Amino acid sequence: MSTLSLETLHFLFSPEGDILMNEAGTLEGDFLTRLTRLRKSYPADQCSAALELLDLRKRAERKFSLAAQMFFTREALEQASGEVVARYRAKRFTEGSTVLDLACGIGGDTIGLASRCKVIAVDSDPVRLAMAERNLQVYGLADRVKFICEDVTQVPLQADAAFLDPSRRDRGRRVIGLNDLSPSLGFIQHLIQSVPNCAIKLSPGTDYDELESLGGELEFISNDGECKEALVWCGDFKTAMRRATILPCECTIMHEQVEPVRSGLPLAFLYEPDPAVIRAHLVEQLAHRIEARKIDDRIAYLTSPERVETPFASVYRVLHHMPFALKPIIAKLRQLNAGRVIVKKRGVPFDPLDIQKKIKTDGTEELVLVLTRLADQPHAIICGPMFKPGL
């Protein structure tokens, strides 16, 4: 439950609350300085809530286009899906259908769903639910949503489809195992049986076998290079075994049977697959798509003689590669006029920060040092800076 009271929240909703928010927004200085100024005219709880909301609205700008008018709690904002992700997901739901949005929080997913569907939004936290209703008003979608303050396990599972975002925190600690979720794994299984066309949002770090045990399509979604979530799509929503989707371009790659990709020494270009591609176990499929090969059978780097633009990987020009030995590596970096050196690693036990501290170069070129494994031996690949992912 939120530490913010409903009484304070309703004050912030009011015209008087707007006046406080506007005044708080004009103040400068640290939190305590601004709080002291505001407390001359308003109760302490209202002042603290207003200042925190201003901070949260600023943070939320990366997630929501109308963040400046929305309401959040700190934890609820961290858990909320961003607008780009929510609207992408909503496209699988049939337009005009009725959807249960279970554990809706402050309404991040509800915004996406309500843009296409009629929504029954359920949450047991009255503060979050009140925020969700106000946030849907901000987007002009509140008339498409029925809000219910109730434990999601107690509401009738009657709708055309359902979306569930279970809590992945236990006493403030992040959890990723299915047995640690709230509502429980048992409820998730019951939901899949009761509303077959459903989607469950989970952590991308959840054990892969646990995700597969739910029997749906696994979609790993990446936004701006960060794997944000794993979606389990059940019933008619299932269109593939696995897929990785890159946002905001909405580019997707899915599982298909392919021949194993051979491995060999790095060629002219090195590809670092997006985390969603790696998590979805689709590196082989990507290799076939861009006509690349692996550098090692167990390492998720690809290489090719020609640069192929792809949204599914970062691409680097290979300048040199050699077995790992720090002194020769530093000598080669100096020969290549290295200045700032970014160290990356995969499949080897080295600490990139420790290696970076030991590299002393005074050139002008920004280079990338990739520490990895080739044929079960540590290897270094020196690259130019990353090309921006293309479409």
3-state SS string for 44-81: HHHHHHHHHHHHHHHHHCCCCCCHHHCCCCHHHHHHCC
CATH number at residue 172: 3.40.50.150
DSSP state of 82: P
With 70 as the cut, is the pLDDT of residue 365 above it? yes
Burial degree of 291 (CB within 10 A; 0-12, 13-18, 19+): exposed
Q: What local confidence, expressed as pLDDT, does residue 376 receive?
A: 87
pLDDT band at 2 (very low <50, low <70, confident <90, very high): low
Question: In terms of pLDDT, which residue wins out, 167 or 353?
Answer: 353
- Taking each continuous run of H as one helix and of E as one strand, the counts in the chain are 14, 18
Q: How far apart are CA 202 and CA 228, in angstroms?
A: 9
Q: How far apart are CA 82 and CA 59, in angstroms?
A: 12
Q: What local confidence, expressed as pLDDT, does residue 167 receive?
A: 82
Q: Calculate what percentage of the chain has a pLDDT beyond 90.
A: 91
With 70 as the cut, is the pLDDT of residue 389 above it? no
Task: Report, as an integer, the average pLDDT of 155-184.
Answer: 83
Which residues span the domain enclosing 191? 77-252
Give which of 241, 227, 239 is closest to 279, Cα–Cα. 227
Burial degree of 307 (CB within 10 A; 0-12, 13-18, 19+): middle
Asked if the structure places residue 257 within a domain, the reply is no
Yes or no: say if 336 and 311 are a contact pair by the CB < 8 Å rule. no
pLDDT band at 175 (very low <50, low <70, confident <90, very high): low
Residues 92 and 32 in one domain: no
Give which of 248, 181, 178, 182 is closest to 216, Cα–Cα. 178
Residues 377 and 318 in one domain: yes
Q: What local confidence, expressed as pLDDT, does residue 391 receive?
A: 43
Q: Beta strand 145-149 with 118-123: parallel, antiparallel or unpaired?
A: parallel
With 70 as the cut, is the pLDDT of residue 68 above it? yes
Terminus-to-terminus CA distance in the chain, angstroms?
A: 43
Task: Report, as an integer, the average pLDDT of 319-345.
Answer: 96
Task: Report, as an integer, the average pLDDT of 171-191.
Answer: 82
Token representation of residue 91: 């496209």
Asked if the structure places residue 391 within a domain, the reply is no
Rounded to the nearest 10 degrees, the angle between the axes of helix 44-60 and helix 15-26 is: 70
- Secondary structure (3-state) at 338: strand
Of the three residues 224, 252, 280, the one that is the final residue of a domain is 252
Q: Please state, in angstroms and as integers, the Cα–Cα distance from residue 340 to each residue in 109, 161, 237, 359, following that order.
A: 41, 51, 47, 9
Averaged pLDDT score across all residues of the chain: 93
Asked if the structure places residue 260 within a domain, the reply is no
Asked if the structure places residue 71 within a domain, the reply is no
**In the chain, how many domains are there?**
3
With 70 as the cut, is the pLDDT of residue 70 above it? yes
Residues 177 and 291 in one domain: no
With 50 as the cut, is the pLDDT of residue 160 above it? yes
What is the reported pTM?
Answer: 0.90
With 70 as the cut, is the pLDDT of residue 164 above it? yes
Q: What local confidence, expressed as pLDDT, does residue 77 receive?
A: 93
Residues 203 and 283 in one domain: no
Task: Report, as an integer, the average pLDDT of 240-269.
Answer: 95
Residues 178 and 97 in one domain: yes
- Secondary structure (3-state) at 146: strand
The Cβ of residue 205 has, within 10 Å, a number of other Cβ atoms equal to: 14
pLDDT band at 168 (very low <50, low <70, confident <90, very high): low
Phi and psi torsions of 357, nearest 5°: -65, -30
Name 156's Cβ contacts closer than 8 Å, sequence gap at least 6: none
Of the three residues 193, 220, 252, the one that is the final residue of a domain is 252
Residues 13 and 87 in one domain: no
> Which residue bears the tokens 């469950």?
200
Asked if the structure places residue 347 within a domain, the reply is yes
Of the three residues 192, 225, 252, the one that is the final residue of a domain is 252
Residues 143 and 290 in one domain: no
Q: What local confidence, expressed as pLDDT, does residue 1 receive?
A: 44
Give which of 44, 52, 64, 50 is closest to 13, Cα–Cα. 50
DSSP state of 240: -
Residues 225 and 276 in one domain: no
Yes or no: say if 341 and 362 are a contact pair by the CB < 8 Å rule. no
Residues 244 and 277 in one domain: no
Residues 243 and 314 in one domain: no
Residues 215 and 129 in one domain: yes
Task: Count the alpha carbons within 13 Å of 369 in the hemisphere toward its beta carbon.
Answer: 34
Rounded to the nearest 10 degrees, the angle between the axes of helix 31-38 and helix 44-60 is: 130
Containing 123, the helix (H) or strand (E) segment is strand 118-123
Asked if the structure places residue 133 within a domain, the reply is yes
Q: Calculate what percentage of the chain has a pLDDT beyond 70.
A: 96
Residues 96 and 204 in one domain: yes
Task: Report, as an integer, the average pLDDT of 25-33.
Answer: 92
**What is the sign, positive or negative, of the torsion defined by CA atoms of 242, 280, 74, 174?**
positive
Asked if the structure places residue 114 within a domain, the reply is yes
Asked if the structure places residue 283 within a domain, the reply is yes
Task: Report, as an integer, the average pLDDT of 332-354.
Answer: 94
Task: Report, as an integer, the average pLDDT of 318-346.
Answer: 96
Q: What local confidence, expressed as pLDDT, does residue 90 receive?
A: 97
